[in-house]
């Protein structure tokens, strides 16, 4: 085998190794990008859930208060007219926040 053939074999081996390294690197890059995208998606979903949580609490509180007020109005409608004023004042004292 002549010098030229040896140099060509070394060159071809080097080219093969370079292609293998490039293929491995490209596969790893795709894995890293997929992991980063998945993490980004999870982070966005968690942030949205965290931002929406207080709104759910406020909404539940508002619904509860509305139901309570509706029940209170219904109760007031059932109290005879002559006892209504005394009852309203007594209930307001009990229901008023401290």
68 versus 77: which is more confidently predicted?
A: 68
3-class DSSP state of 2? coil
Residues 6+ apart with CB under 8 A from 79: 87
d(CA 72, CA 63): 14
Lowest mean pLDDT among 49-53, 73-77, 89-93: 89-93
Question: DSSP assignment of 43-59, as one string?
Answer: HHHHHHHHHHHHHHHHH
**In this predicted structure, what is the pLDDT of residue 41?**
96
* DSSP secondary structure code for residue 79 in this structure: S
Q: Which token pair is 56? A: 């759910």
**In this predicted structure, what is the pLDDT of residue 5?**
86
What is the domain partition of the chain in residue ranges? 3-95
The predicted-structure confidence for 22-60, as pLDDT tens digits, reads as follows 999 999 999 999 999 999 999 999 999 988 888 888 999
Helix (H) or strand (E) holding 32: helix 3-78
* DSSP secondary structure code for residue 96 in this structure: S
């Amino acid at each position: 085998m002549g010098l030229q053939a040896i140099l060509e074999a070394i060159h071809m081996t080097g080219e093969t190794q370079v292609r293998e390294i490039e293929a491995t690197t490209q596969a790893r890059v795709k894995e890293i990008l997929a992991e980063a995208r998945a993490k980004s998606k999870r982070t966005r979903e968690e942030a949205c859930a965290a931002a929406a949580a207080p709104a759910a609490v406020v909404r539940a509180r508002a619904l509860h208060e509305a139901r309570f007020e509706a029940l209170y109005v219904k109760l007031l409608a059932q109290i005879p007219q002559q006892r209504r004023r005394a009852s309203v004042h007594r209930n307001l004292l009990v229901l008023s926040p401290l």
